[in-house]
Structure formats: C-alpha cells, structure tokens
Structure 1
Amino acid sequence: MFGPAPTAPTPPPGQVGAKHSRRGKITGRLRRRLLAYRAIDFLSIHIPDHSGPGEECLLLVHVRQVVGQVHYQTCSDCAQGVITALVIDERFHSTGLANRALSHLRFRHPGLAWCSTLNMRTTPDLLRRMSIPTVPADTRCPHASPAAA
C-alpha cells in the first residue's frame, strides 16, 4: 500500500522452467553410466564350429535387447584368450561398459592371458587401460583346427 509493489523473485540467468527439469550433458552421461553398471546383463554363448574351437560370444543385454557383443576365443591348452570383435551400441559409448565387459571376461576365465586382434580407432586406449596387448589378426592358436582358417 505504501511504497513500491513487491516483485516476484526472478530466476537466475540461464535457468528456465522447473529447478530440476534441465538435463545437461553431465547428467545424461551419469545416467547412462549408472544404467551400464546396473541394468546390463551378461550372457555367454558358444558359437558352434563358426571359426574354430573355443569361439565364444559375450552378449550385453539391456531389457531383452542386445546392446553389445564381445567375440573371443579361448584355449585352455595355451591358457590364452583372444578378443576378436567388440561392438557396443552408440548410446553406451563413454559409459565404461566396454571396460566392464572385458573385466567380466577376465573374471569368467581366470588364469588366461588375454590379447586382442582389434585395430579399430576407439579400441587402442581401451586395450592399453586394460593391459591387453594387440596381436596381428593372422596369429592363431596352434590347437585350432586348420579347417577353421
């Protein structure tokens, strides 16, 4: 009644709408990382006579949908495992899911020395972090059948 009319507080610059309605890059990345660590199941399947004995595939499954695959070969005689392919769905890049998948392989097959034949642009850093050496693609286990070449 006397003096200036009270004004409603103005939101800080850059904040529009509800306080928690904005989701930035950091929040989205954090949500995907939590999703990659909580809601992903690992299923291991054997690929019969596909490219040799010991050919396996680790499927990364989220709500009945395959979001990644790791193809690998194991040889108990050589005590060696070779990662031959790694595919992760685009939305799960930079979430740590590839690290988790390779760590799962090491846990699932203890005592194996792991190496990789991957030469994709995104994998050298991952393999270096996981201490997995890269070998030429034509390097094969001597116990693999010659018909599998």
Structure 2
Amino acid sequence: MEVTRSIPPPGKIGRCKIALRSIACAAACATASFAISTLVEELLDKRPEGNVVYWYTIVAALGISPFIETFIFQSIPFKWATQRGLSKPIRLALMSTPFALAHYSKGMTAMLEIQFGGLLLAMVYIHWHKAGTTLAFRTTALAHFLHNGFTAAYLFHNGAVLALH
C-alpha cells in the first residue's frame, strides 16, 4: 500500500504564513503598548495596587471592546481617510486621537498612554490592510485583546480584586 502525502494548495500555505505573521505582529504590538503603559505608571508611581475590578469590566475589555473599538476607531476612519486620499500621518492621527479621547475619563496620563497604544493599533491596521480588510480588522482586534489581557493580568498581579456584583 502506497502512502500519499496531501500537499495543501499554494494559497493555503500563503494564508498560513500571513496568519502567523499577523498573530506575531499583534503580540508584538500588544507587548510594546503594555510595556510603555507599565513604564509610565512606574515612573509616575501610579501602580494600580488594591484596585477593584468588576467582572463586567473584564468581559468588556476582553470580549467586546477590542472588536467594537477596532471598527469605530480604525476601520471607519481608515476608510473615510482613504476615500479622501489623505496622507498616512493624517490617517494615523484620525485613527489614534479619537481612540485616546474616548478614554479621557481615565485621566490625562492614561489618555497619553492610550494615544500611543492607539497609534500602534492604527499602524497595525494600515499595515495589514494591504493584505485585506478582514485580516487588518482581525489582527488589530487581536492586538487590542492581547493588550487588554496583559493589563488585566498586571492588575491582578498587583493586588486588584475581582468584584462579582
């Protein structure tokens, strides 16, 4: 009995490489964003020790926000700016500044950190958009999800308490 090997078509190999690269890019973006946020908190001595984190905040931060915010703050502004032929720096500003302003309630320091994170997310979206809108959306949402996950882990590591009410 002869054993035959199944070789995937070339398109599948290419998609797998693109998927792995997009996951690596998302992880790197999330790690960089988290590292900068943590560094700023350490420098300003604003560690989140003893915080109470509500369960619905974790659900929103990990399950809902990455997708909704990617759509609102990356997909829509990118499409709008591209249709008008705006330059890459303008597109980056249009994608990251509203993202930061939406988080203003967390304070000016947090807003500046989030501006940097929004800039990274915008760069991820613009980069991966060349390979397709869906891939850009998924990679950016994954980077956002990973960043929020790192942040949640950091909060719990530093004494945050999960409140279930």
What is the TM-score when the length of structure 1 is the normalising length?
A: 0.27
Query: Which has the larger share of strand?
Result: 1
Larger-gyration structure (1/2): 1
Query: Which has the larger share of helix?
Result: 2
What is the TM-score when the length of structure 2 is the normalising length?
A: 0.25
Greater RCO (Cα-Cα under 8 Å, separation 6 or more): 2
